[in-house]
Amino acid sequence: MNQQELEKKFQDRIDKGEIIEPKDWMPEQYRKQLIRMMSQHAHSEVVGMLPEGNWITRAPSLRRKAVLLAKVQDEGGHGLYIYSGAETLDISREEMVGEFLSGKAKYSSIFNYPTLSWADMGAIGWLVDGAAIVNQTALAKCSYGPYARAMVRICKEENFHHKQGYEILATLMKGTKEQREMAQDSVSRFWWPSLMMFGPHDKDSPHSSDLLRWKVKLFSNDTLRQRFIDRTIPQAENIGIEIPDPALKWNEETRHYEHGEIDWNEFKNVISGRGICNKERMKARRKAHEDGAWVREAAEAYAQKKVSKAVAV
């Protein structure tokens, strides 16, 4: 079969809803786009441990501390599931981590915002994980098997992340005036960056059409963003949190909320490295990698020692 026939056959499989597995033939661009998406996603999970890790030692109770620790550990696990899936596309873990640590690879802009108060653990769980759930639930039906399966596993865990965050905010909203203000301040800071997590508007999204045609993406950025807004607003009303968007209103006809314009300049700045915490996050990741070097060396030396012992016997 020539290239054109192979591509036609591939697209037919996608259109029929078949799942592509690692050893199947796939267009080079499909493989490349998936590597880009999956490695960025994995890096985001890993960087995502930092803003919340910042509050583990200062959690207000042992219960909250255990919960936060478990959540952060889950995020590390999510990174590993996705790296493991991406490796089936003929890229090594070492190469992906290398591109991440060198600053060549991107990760989600949301993690370049600082976590200034305990309420941010609530806002992140509720809004950031909430947005991630909407994205990942769609990706769980994507055409690449290893990515889809990683997403199914992740979505199960995200529900806990989402609810514990909401619980933190709900509790604060029943507290003192200061606590309510702290919760509101946090949501006001995280609302717009959360909407940016879905990426540019459809008309400005460079990779979207290929990804939609290949069913790597099943819904456009704007569709998913709308889904997130529609399900989040009633939850906000339920605990009396205000959404910092004066243009927000319910449209009875479309049965959707309308929202104000997103500040895409801010988005571009954060993505291109000028966010509040970009430098700090990269520094922390590099330090963690270097500080772990002795553990990796020791584990390898131990494994080798056992091999040579076994040979000697």
Partner 1 sequence: MTKETQWPLWEVFLQKKFGVPFEHAGNVHAPDKEMALQNARDVYSRRNEATCIWVVPSEAIASSSPEDAGSFFDPANDKIYRHPNFYKTPGASFE
The interface with Fe ion within residues 230-249 (CB under 5 A) comprises none
* Separation in Å, CA 20 to CA 13, 80, 210, 212, 295: 8, 21, 16, 15, 37
Cβ(42)–Cβ(244) below 8 Å:
no
Q: Say how far apart CA 164 and CA 65 lie, in whole Å.
A: 12
Residues 255-294 that bind partner 1 (CB under 8 A): 290, 293
3-state secondary structure of 258: strand
Q: Which is nearer to partner 1, 146 or 199 (CB)?
A: 146
Is the CB of 6 or the CB of 70 nearer to Fe ion? 70
Choose, by CB under 8 A, the member of 27, 53, 77, 244 that binds partner 1: 77
Among 12, 204, 263, 300, binds partner 1 (CB under 8 A): 300
**Within 157-186, which residues bind partner 1 (CB under 8 A)?**
157
Q: Quick one: tokens of 287?
A: 């330090």
Cα angle 233, 238, 240; round to 5:
90
Please choose which of partner 1, Fe ion, none residue 161 contacts, taking the beta carbon within 5 to 8 angstroms, the exact cut-off set by kind. Answer: Fe ion
Q: In the complex, what is the shortest distance from the CB of residue 75 to Fe ion, in angstroms, rounded to a whole number?
A: 5
Question: Judged by CB under 5 A, how many residues of this single chain contact Fe ion?
Answer: 6
Going 162 to 165 to 167 to 173, the CA torsion angle's sign is negative
Rule CB under 8 A: which residues touch partner 1? 21, 23-25, 70, 73-74, 77, 80-81, 84-85, 87, 92-94, 98, 149-150, 157, 290, 293, 296-297, 299-300, 302-304, 306
